[in-house]
Structure 1
């Protein structure tokens, strides 16, 4: 006899995926589910060291499994990591599901699986083999998911190559008349690594498209008012966002670095309203030395106060970052123009009244957090889905400006300073992003579209309990 629902939740092993999947786990726990959250051993250790949301009163059981990579191996090799996961993680996950049936644990047997779409087809195959209900979570935009679900159309229209997904020319295309013009070179799989990596990722994503056709539900971290055209293409994909990524009850959730909470917040508390440029490029973005220095000098040249998140591994090739001569003394000394931290509690930062704009890599979590807090963007994409996200920020929603490189491929200090000045003085843009903030908040309140969609999803996962009990 099954007494309660028990979900096993599996994120893709990258911070931008662990954070939203952990919020899905918490939201299921809020609705009475027991949850087993499966991280790789490497990421489990990082989240534990950052004290990032693993103390939740016992509602969620955290389990670590091997990812197949060697100690010290670069986990930013996303294609290699994805391939190894199937070999090393799939058997462990299947063991967890089967063992739950005989364990006698208070959480009971695992009754459903909620997996990151990007984990790969193996997770949904485990769910099929073990006879449990399954759902896929797309933690990025509905527009990017639409490109994946439109593989056949893109191939038929000769936008991409059928074998490797590479761009066939540079002809822009639209999936829907109300969606922005896209370029095949900026599709997610064409913006990761070299050609071999792009080809491998295209094939992995293609397998994922076929796999999700057998799962019971697909949800995504977006909301109806943000992407109505993209969502209209695939009405079976339910938007449940914007998920409250990054924070729960004042505590960071799922972070790989320990946020410098007090330093960030006390510094912001001392700044005037809408005076600070917040600069953060997520957990993957890397710069070469010249671009890093141009960014530093551009922030200084703007004359605006700034809070800049500088990860220890932000320079390419593992180089130790060095700032322009005299920069730290001129700008970052006590009482100076800027504040540098290695990581921040981003949700709290963006909600702070001192923050005026957000220089961002356009990762989807960051995009939703900026929108949810009504902060305009300087959009500076780096890889994967971020180029499509930038189109929405600058061209569809018109809540940000695009950072544009010069002929040498560098975004110059003069351009950065000019864009910041333009952003902070644009009242129309501020009005538009405030309207999006209002729509985002309404969607996740009781009675809102995303709130109702999550309830529908949870109820569907719950219904399997009664089916199993009857059998």
Structure 2
């Protein structure tokens, strides 16, 4: 979900100031290249400079694993594998484009379903002089199966994708082209690193997991949980594997997937993240062996993740925006409601017509950069969080699932740049609250 409210006059600047020393002033692609042992300084095609260090996303959608071989790799060739979810594909597409500009060869692997969406969105512009190649592997789910069943999708990915990746790596390495020298994979698909270890000699770095029962259900359900001071306090019900679905079987699948991802980090050389040391210093101190490269520049080509509302909540949101009596831009996707059609309150569009605009898509990064933006109502996905923080925009937080609740805690409790909504006895965020 994305809703933007506007000031009549530009707001005061609130941009984040990051360190500007030599240690951290570098492009994202140069940072990755130096850590992988490649000399990129001789290349002139540089990505935009990223000022500042970067912390580790404790539970986030923009963390990546890297793997490389010991021997002399010659020309670097990265195999990049995102988790097949829209908001997780975008950061790796962006990073891959910047790496390709540094003359690093990239093979970007998507499932067939997401491969077509990336091609449709980016077209030929993604090629980067032929160094960035998009390939696909078969989908984890069959045609007609519900992709919203997250537990089933997660389980099938771990069953189906490793075999396809092995076949692809063998095919590339057996050809006359440059062999795969590094595997870069999203944190949420840790099984990819098991494939990398099986097919080559790789270094490892260790990251401990959480000590909870194998069912994933916390032993203490009502006590708030916190790691070191200055990290978010979170209720056990908001743990990633518990807030995604209410089904115990799905929760167990998601827990074991999360546990497996943490264990997989033991075989990774580095964890690459889209964050900054200034935003998450305590998280960075917890896991120091990471490669910070954020914040990555925003991309609006593939849009954003949106919460699906029931009819009552949708109408309360509409009426709440009307009650603000402020200009607003509301991104209303076709699938934002549970029904087939959006049911706006009676005469709502006529009443807000002179100050409110509803659209099916908006270039979020460009909108947030506008000086008239006064507030960003966001689901608190990490990409949106980074974009809002980078542009100094205050948040109203409407998290839905996964890491969004943790991000809300950072925004409201640690950084103090946003507010939380309170739900009523029905579990609805009412128009007066909005």
**TM-score normalised by length of structure 1:** 0.72
Match of 1:321 in 2: 342
- Bigger drift between 372-381 and 52-61 goes to 52-61
- Give the secondary structure class of the aligned counterpart of 1:100: helix
Deviation at 1:344, TM superposition (A): 1.8
2:241 matches 1:189: yes
Gaps of 5+ in 2: 1-71
Task: From the superposition, tell whether residues 244 and 167 of structure 1 become closer, same or farther in structure 2 (CA, over 3 Å).
Answer: farther
Residue 163 of structure 1 pairs with residue 215 of structure 2: yes
Report the alpha carbon displacement of residue 380 of structure 1 after superposing the two structures with TM. Answer: 0.9
Whether 1:22 and 2:93 are equivalent positions in the alignment is: yes
- Residue in 2 aligned with 1:460? none
Residue 97 in 1 paired to residue 166 in 2? no
Aligned residue for 2:298, secondary structure, equals coil
> Cα distance, 1:34 vs. partner?
0.4
Q: Is the 8 A contact 2:204 2:268 kept in 1?
A: yes
Q: Of residues 323, 327, 342 in structure 2, which corresponds to 1:301? A: 323
Contact 2:319 2:345 in 1 (8 A): yes
User: Does 2:210 match 1:151?
Assistant: yes
Asked whether the equivalents of residues 287 and 314 of structure 1 are also in contact (C-alpha less than 8 Å), the reply is: yes
Equivalences, count: 360
* Contact 1:180-1:392 at 8 Å conserved across structures: yes
Q: Distance in 1 between matches of 2:196 and 2:171?
A: 14
Contact persistence 2:204–2:266 (CA under 8 A): no
Provide the TM-score with structure 2 as the length reference: 0.78
Aligned match of 1:225 = 278
Change (3 A) 1:132 1:305: farther
Greater relative CO, 1 or 2 (CA 8 Å, sep 6+) = 2
CA shift digits 1:38-79 (9 cap, x unpaired): 111111112223346635442310011112212232222222
1:66 alignment counterpart: 138
Q: Find the aligned partners of 1:242 and 1:295 in 2 and give their Cα distance.
A: 31
Question: CA offsets per residue over residues 167-202 of structure 1, 9 Å max, x none?
Answer: 622111221022232211111111011222111100
1:213 to 266, 271, 274: 266
* Contact 1:222–1:241, Cα closer than 8 Å, also in 2: yes
Go from structure 1 to structure 2 and tell me whether the alpha carbon gap of 1:16 and 1:184 turns closer, same or farther (over 3 Å shift).
same
* Contact 1:112 1:133 (C-alpha < 8 Å) held by counterparts: no
- Using the TM superposition, give the Cα deviation of residue 35 of structure 1 relative to its aligned residue in structure 2, in angstroms: 0.3
Distance in 2 separating the partners of 1:284 and 1:115: 24
Mean CA deviation greater in 390-399 or 83-92: 83-92
* Structure 1 residues 27 and 289: alpha-carbon distance in aligned structure 2, compared to 1, 3 A threshold: same
Quote the residue 1:109 is aligned against: 179
Give the Cα–Cα distance (whole angstroms) in 1 for the partners of residues 410 and 200 of structure 2.
39
Q: Which residue of 1 aligns with 2:54?
A: none
Residue 92 of structure 1 aligns to a residue in which SS?
helix
1:54 to 105, 114, 126: 126
Q: Secondary structure at the match of 2:195?
A: helix
Note if contact 2:273-2:290 (Cα within 8 Å) is conserved in structure 1: yes
Does the 8 A contact of 2:188 with 2:261 survive in 1? Answer: yes
| TM-superposition CA deviations, 1:275-313 (whole Å, max 9, x none) | xxxxxxx42421111101111111111111111111111
- Displacement of 1:363 in angstroms is 0.6
Say if 1:112 and 1:132, in contact at 8 Å, map to a contact too. no
SS in 1 for 2:89: helix
Q: State whether residues 8 and 112 of structure 1, in contact with CA within 8 Å, keep that contact through their aligned partners in structure 2.
A: yes
Q: For residue 386 of structure 1, report the CA deviation from its aligned partner.
A: 0.8
The correspondence for 2:332, drawn from 310, 328, 332, is 310
Counterpart in 1 of 2:405? 387
Distance 2:110 2:369 in 1: 29
Alpha-carbon RMSD: 2.1
SS at 2:183 equivalent: strand
Is the Cα–Cα contact under 8 Å of residues 15 and 283 in structure 1 kept in the other structure? yes
Contact 2:190–2:265 (Cα < 8 Å) also in 1: no
Which residue number corresponds to residue 126 of structure 1?
Answer: 195
Q: Is the 8 A contact 1:115 1:135 kept in 2?
A: no
In structure 2, C-alpha distance between the alignment counterparts of 1:55 and 1:304, rounded to whole Å: 43
Structure having the higher helix fraction is 1
Q: CA separation in 2, counterparts of 1:55 and 1:27?
A: 11
Deviation, 1:150, is 4.3
**Match in the other structure for 2:48:** none
Q: Output the CA distance in 2 between the equivalents of 1:218 and 1:5.
A: 19
CA distance in structure 1 between the partners assigned to 2:134 and 2:230 by the alignment: 42
Q: Aligned residue for 1:331?
A: 352
Deviation at residue 135 of structure 1 after TM alignment: 9.3
Q: Does residue 44 of the first structure (1) align with residue 44 of the second (2)?
A: no
Unaligned runs of 5+ in 1: 137-147, 156-160, 258-281, 417-471
Residue 72 and residue 162 in structure 1: after superposition, are their counterparts in 2 closer, same or farther (change >3 A)? closer
Alpha-carbon contact 1:379-1:402 (below 8 Å) kept? yes
Q: How far did residue 227 of structure 1 move?
A: 0.5
Deviation at 1:208, TM superposition (A): 1.2
SS across alignment from 2:433: helix
